């Protein structure tokens, strides 16, 4: 670990000003991504701003039916919250499918949104990697790209998946991210928060240099809907998704009134597929409809050397989850 300056903030404003516009500054929340990467010398912050004392630990139901989650609410607390398990089962399930109990106890909502990719070439410190060293290339293409590499949203500059499970559920639910900057607060639509790699994979999100996430606010639940998260992987626990789906469906009789679909493990960002949702609307809840939606999800997928199986697997994640939620 290299030396860095450490500041502990007592308010969001103070955090933002301690952070400043220094590109080498980082907020410290649970530390499960940041400290991990600092210890292996991949992230090298010069200034660390500890935000753990900020008053951002609440989960609140707003008057308009939305639910506002403080940036520091831990993954465990969020997953176990009664309002979440009742109204947003998909989110609770997604959180509980992630990492391990110990990690979830430390990991925070904002930290989870901001977690970095698990690509081994990003983490090895020497391979060409456009995320770590802009312009150096992408060793994953043509290399070993089975588990943590995407088939959707990739570019010839980067193919790493966004590893979060929580974000996949949030993408399906719909949400906004509240951020605090030096000029005050603003909101970013959750679906616009994470960026596709395109030609600039080192730009991962829509935050400006020193902006701090203060809250994530979930859209009001869809009345009469059921939801769930299905995570497919090699082993039963403690592994990032090879393919996962977050599904929310509301039926009228056996007809789909409304559906939300997002995928994890297959995309370079939490992968919401509105087109597939549209295709389901008004259709009978049966295998044929689900298959059609799944085909739409993977229509533009690009298979790489070792991860082509994620295309059928992603479809399966969608079909089985829709089947379960409409059974």
Partner 1 sequence: MSDSIIGAGPRRIDGRLKVSGAAPYAADHYPDNMAYGYGVFSTIASGRVTNIDLSEARRSPGVIDIFHHGHFPSLYHTPSSMMQGNKVEETRLPFEDDRVYYEGQFVALVVADSLENARAAAYKVKVSYDEEKAIANLDQGVKAHGTQKGKGNHSRGNPGASFESAAHSIDYTYATPVETHNPMEMHATVASWRGDRLHVYESSQGVLQEKGALAKIFGIAPNQIEVESPFIGSGFGSKLWMWPHAVTAAAASRETGRPVQVVVPRQQMFTTTGHRPETRQRLRLATDNQGRLVSVRHESINATSFTDQYVETCGSVTKSLYSCDNVLVSHETTRVNRGTPTSMRAPGAAPGLFALESAIDEMAIEAGIDPVEFRLNNYADRDESQDLPFSSNHIKDATRQAAEKFGWSKRTPEPGSMREGNEFVGYGMAACNWEAMRFPCDARVSLRADGTAYVTCATQDIGTGTYTIVAQAVSDVTGLPLERITVKLGDTSYPEGPLSGGSWTTATTLPAVAEASRKAIEQLKSHATSGQGAFSDVAAEDLSFENGQLSHNGRAMDYTEVLGAQRLASADGEAHTGGADTSKYSFRSFGAHFVEVRWDPGISNLRVSRVVSAIDVGRAINTLTARNQVEGAVVMGLGMAHFEATDYDHRNARPVNNNYAEYLVATHADQPEIDVILLDNPDYEFNEYGARGIGEIGITGMAAAVANAVYHATGKRIRELPISKDKLMEGIPEPQRA
Under the rule (CB under 6 A), what is the footprint of ligand SF4? 117, 119, 121-122, 129-131, 138-140, 158-160, 201
Question: What is the rounded CA–CA span in Å between residue 212 and residue 13?
Answer: 9
Residue from the set 23, 41, 46, 55 that interacts with partner 1 by CB under 8 A: 41
Closest CB 238 distance from partner 1, rounded Å: 5
Closest CB 134 distance from ligand FAD, rounded Å: 17
Restricting to residues 213-252, name those near partner 1 by CB under 8 A. Answer: 230, 232, 234-240, 242
Cα 270 to Cα 11, 40, 148, 160, 168: the distances in Å are: 30, 26, 13, 12, 5
What's the order of all strands across the beta sheet hosting 271-272?
225-232, 243-252, 255-264, 271-272
Closest CB 186 distance from partner 1, rounded Å: 34
Q: Does 292 bind partner 1 (CB under 8 A)?
A: no
Rg (CA), the chain: 19
Q: Does 319 bind partner 1 (CB under 8 A)?
A: yes
With CB cut-offs between 5 and 8 Å by kind, which of ligand FAD, partner 1, ligand SF4, none does residue 212 bind? ligand FAD
Choose among 327, 87, 84: nearest CA to 225.
Answer: 87
With CB cut-offs between 5 and 8 Å by kind, which of partner 1, ligand SF4, ligand FAD, none does residue 71 bind? ligand FAD
Choose among 215, 234, 207, 249: nearest CA to 90.
Answer: 249
3-state secondary structure of 292: helix
Give the residue at shortest CB distance from ligand FAD.
Answer: 111
**Half-sphere exposure (Cβ direction) of 79: Cα atoms closer than 13 Å:** 24
Q: Is the Cβ of residue 222 or residue 263 nearer to ligand SF4 in the bound state?
A: 263
């Amino acid at each position: 670990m290299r030396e860095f300056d450490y500041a502990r903030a007592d308010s969001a404003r103070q955090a933002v000003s301690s952070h400043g516009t220094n590109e080498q500054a980082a907020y410290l929340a649970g530390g499960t991504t940041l400290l991990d990467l600092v210890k292996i010398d991949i992230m090298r912050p010069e200034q660390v701003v500890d935000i753990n004392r900020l008053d951002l630990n609440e989960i609140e139901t707003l008057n308009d039916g939305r639910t506002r989650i403080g940036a520091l609410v831990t993954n465990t607390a969020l997953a176990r919250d009664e309002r979440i398990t009742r109204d947003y089962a998909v989110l609770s399930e997604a959180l509980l499918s992630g990492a391990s109990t110990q990690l979830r106890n430390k990991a925070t909502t904002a930290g989870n949104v901001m977690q970095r990719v698990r690509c081994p070439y990003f983490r090895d410190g020497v391979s060409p990697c456009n995320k770590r060293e802009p312009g150096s290339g992408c060793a994953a293409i043509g290399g070993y790209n089975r588990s943590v590499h995407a088939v959707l949203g990739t570019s010839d500059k980067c193919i790493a998946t966004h590893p979060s499970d929580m974000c996949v559920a949030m993408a399906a639910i719909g949400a906004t991210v509240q951020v605090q900057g030096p000029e005050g607060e603003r909101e970013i639509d959750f679906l616009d928060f994470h960026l596709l790699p395109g030609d600039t994979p080192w730009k991962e999100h829509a935050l400006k240099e020193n902006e701090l996430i203060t809250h994530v606010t979930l859209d009001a639940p869809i009345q009469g809907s059921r939801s769930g998260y299905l995570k497919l992987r090699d082993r039963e626990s403690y592994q990032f998704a090879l393919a996962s789906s977050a599904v929310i469906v509301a039926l009228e009789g056996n007809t789909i009134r409304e559906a939300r679909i997002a995928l994890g493990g297959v995309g370079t960002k939490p992968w919401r597929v509105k087109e597939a949702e549209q295709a389901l609307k008004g259709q009978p809840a049966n295998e044929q409809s689900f298959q059609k939606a799944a085909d739409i999800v993977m229509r533009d997928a690009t298979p790489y050397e070792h991860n082509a199986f994620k295309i059928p697997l992603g479809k399966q994640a969608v079909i089985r989850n829709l089947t379960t939620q409409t059974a």
